[in-house]
Amino acid sequence: MPTPYSKQVWQDNVTWVDKLHMDHMEDGIANADASLTYLGDYSAATTYNNGDVVVAADGFAYVCVKDGVTAAPVPFPGYGASIPVPVQNGKWLKGQGGAIVWEAPNVANGIAGLDANAQVPAAQLGNAAMVKIQDINLSGTQATIDFTSIPQTYLSLQLRMFLRCDAAVANTTVAVRFNNNVSAVYNHIMMQVTAAGTTINSAEDTTPATFGSFSLCTGSTAAAGFYIQAVSDIVNYAANGVTHNWVTAAHGLWVNGTNGHVIRYQGGVCQDGTPINRITLLPSPSGNFVAGSRATLYGLN
């Protein structure tokens, strides 16, 4: 038996509380404690009376509220189904066949499991409007940013980029190849605005090249910590026998001052009709991406 509750003695002017009210609360606690008797695990051979407390087979404590009871307590939550014990780590409770069972999260039971980053894997998101396929965040120098084994289940792709390279220039082109195709099957056109909008440059590939001009990035002579941000859309990427186009919008600052600010809008096409399952980015004509560069590929539905 636990030690009976000992009432606390309160005095006026010692604390800010009113003695009369606190004494009333202490009486209530003491009376409740005195009215309950803990009798351990339930036994069918024992007759229980009002105030008896027992532990049932489900591990929960129950209070008897009338005299002369011999029947077992009604299992929690009171509808004939008890929570199975012991608790199983990493699992959810699921109703099955009129009972409650522990089950690991999975798509089949309607609960999405999480990956090592505590995120719902793309394969479990079904037809969500926007699904992250892969995020590449560089912690060191790297010649390319390469997305491989791209699922063929989305309508379109979107690539979000935050890039800088070590080429000895203020800014340079970011080239793209699909499916590692190095043949001359890429064309592009671009328009670039700098110098507070007073300088507009444009360029077009009239002859297919062995890579596509996809975006741009800052180089090593740009101010420290300055990167270029860009977003590119590739529509109908999984189609077979048709060209695959991209449209990119980019913005960057490589130095404070005149002609150090740029907005670029460009598009391109790969004439190889093979569905895209790989996207490779690389600085052009030379250089490597540096730490802090990041590219994230999303599937769109």
User: In CATH terms, is domain 122-300 a member of 1.10.3470?
Assistant: no
What is the pLDDT, as a whole number, of residue 259? Answer: 73
DSSP secondary structure string for all residues of 79-114: TS----SS--TT-EEEEETTEEEEE---GGGT----
Tell me the Cα Rg of the chain. 34
Q: Where are the domains of the chain?
A: 122-300
Give the closest residue to 268 by CA, choosing from 198, 208, 179, 193.
208
Distance CA 111, CA 121 (A): 12
Q: How far is CA 244 from the centre of its chain?
A: 29
Give the burial class of 217: count Cβ atoms within 10 A of its Cβ; 0-12 exposed, 13-18 middle, 19 or more buried: buried
Torsion of CA 39, 45, 47, 48, to 10 degrees: 30
What is the pLDDT, as a whole number, of residue 34? Answer: 59
What is the pLDDT, as a whole number, of residue 1? Answer: 42
Q: Is the CB of residue 131 less than 8 Å from the CB of residue 299?
A: yes
112, two tokens: 């999405």
Pairing of strands 37-41, 52-55: parallel
Q: 249-271: string of b/e by CB count within 10 Å (b at 16+)?
A: ebebbbeeeeebbbebebbbbbe
pTM tops 0.85: no
212, two tokens: 């596509």
What is the pLDDT, as a whole number, of residue 12? Answer: 55
Distance CA 16, CA 252 (A): 64
Distance CA 183, CA 185 (A): 6
Mean pLDDT by groups of 10 residues along the chain of 301 residues = 56 55 57 72 91 84 87 66 72 77 69 64 69 95 96 95 96 96 95 78 88 95 95 97 96 82 93 96 96 96 88
